Chains A and B, each alone.
Chain A
């Protein structure tokens, strides 16, 4: 076991523990903070995979924006900060079944011996200019220009919509 594997295992443990905490902790703020720990762990996994850009974006977007918005929403919502609310609703067993099915499917897909897929495991050698290539592929019509533009328009629509909803009523 080399250092990379130890780091990976530790990170995975932290992510799993934090994820469990997100859904089991009674205090909503603590749940949100656990979510941040889990998201940060994912950023560490990105670093381990030599995807520095994704790691930085993960921290900026998920921790810097989304998690803080979640905390803000919790703080501004009346009476959800008390620890008395129930943690489950009538649909809890549906999500439990879905989670088990998903887990089983993933295990079946990736377990050596059982998997219908064949994997060729190659060592990870990221190109030196991976960031520049990522940027170029977004605007290259032969690669991802269309999905990139579609996503941009979707975000723009969401932004305009939120401004309309939040705007002053004339």
Chain B
């Protein structure tokens, strides 16, 4: 037993140690593999369920600091045990099932929402050789498991036998299913760049982080993932002022806590996925020799992403539902398609211009040229997007400012059509002095 080795690569060394121990007891190797797999599943699952204890405290403190409050600071050091006290309270609370609720579906829903998040972690690489399972469709797996979370919300909203819960579930489908489209499209960009859907290969290809070569895809992925979690500014699923608490209005005690855990873990998973796909995952100095360092880098990057999610939550107002859908279908989806086209085009243009083979182009020789060229393409796309947006905004502002009467007449007082313009009409007076 080598202590240095153990510190270097704790997970695999422990697995080796345990294998030796079990083999010494005379167990067949298939059974040992099964036992190790179960231990691995339990370890990752426990990690996913315990981490929110810390995340909730962390988020409450950060948000409190941003809002000039103190936040929880009584239980334990700086209030760090507050979440445990809250969890205890939730466990001993009465478990209420509303009359008319569909008992089976009502009870499966919170479990499914947590399961959907935990199973995502099966393919997320913690370090070069610490990953739950190597799946050659890892990126697709993440999306497919994520869609189970949508289903859980839908089931909970319907089974509660509550109008507000059902409305929350409807909004969920409108939001989560639509935002899945640009998310999938932006996910394609790192897959194209890494030429693999396997998560660890995607990390392995990032000698230069993909955020350099694909900044637009990074932004789209991050924004759509936040929408998938249902966090501010996309928290229409549980808008307190309109539908009280949305789909989980009827849930009490530990069942409510499970939705809560799922949401916080999902928010952290957004940070981790952004880290894995765009920020180089576990990569960093000496991470390949010392896997333990890889875990540290991965966690730091994940928390950076999570911190950004918290900052957004504390500083942005909730967006209106038509704006939310407009943003998805009229802005993010076309932009994501553009990002894919730009990535493909410039990734093939480079080797054609320099007259090198594609296999060498993606290798270490040309990594700076490749990242630079793709960055150039993204900048081009960004400039075009900005130009289109600003000219569109100018057009709308003119329409709102110049001849409001004619504008109204043109629409013939159609209520449905007026709905979209209403927002711009309101926005125009506040914007007008600035320009």
Contact = CB atoms under 8 A, between A and B. Distances in A.
Interface of A: 27, 29-30, 33, 36, 52-53, 56-57, 59-60, 63-65, 67-68, 71-72, 75, 130-131, 168
Contacts of A67: 151
A157 B177 CA distance: 21
Interface residues of B, number: 27
B158 A60 contact: no
Given A52-B137, A71-B158, 6 more contacts: A53-B140, A56-B137, A57-B140, A64-B146, A131-B136, A168-B417
Given A29-B158, A72-B173, A168-B416, A60 B150 contact: no
Nearest to B145: A59
Interface centre among B146, B158, B166 (most CB of A within 10 A): B158
Contact of B151 (A56, A63, A75, A131): A63
A38 to B, nearest CB: 14
Nearest to A29: B158
A16 to B, nearest CB: 20
B180 interface: yes
Contact of A75 (B137, B141, B147, B158): B158
B175 to A, nearest CB: 12
B158 A63 contact: no
20 contacts: A27-B102, A52-B137, A56-B141, A57-B140, A59-B144, A59-B148, A63-B147, A63-B148, A63-B151, A64-B144, A67-B151, A68-B147, A68-B150, A68-B151, A71-B154, A71-B158, A72-B173, A75-B158, A130-B136, A131-B136
Given A33-B155, A59-B145, A65 B177 contact: yes
A52 B166 contact: no
Contacts of B416: 168
Nearest to A71: B154
Nearest to B414: A168
A57 B137 CA distance: 10
Given A52-B137, A68-B154, A68-B173, A59 B147 contact: yes
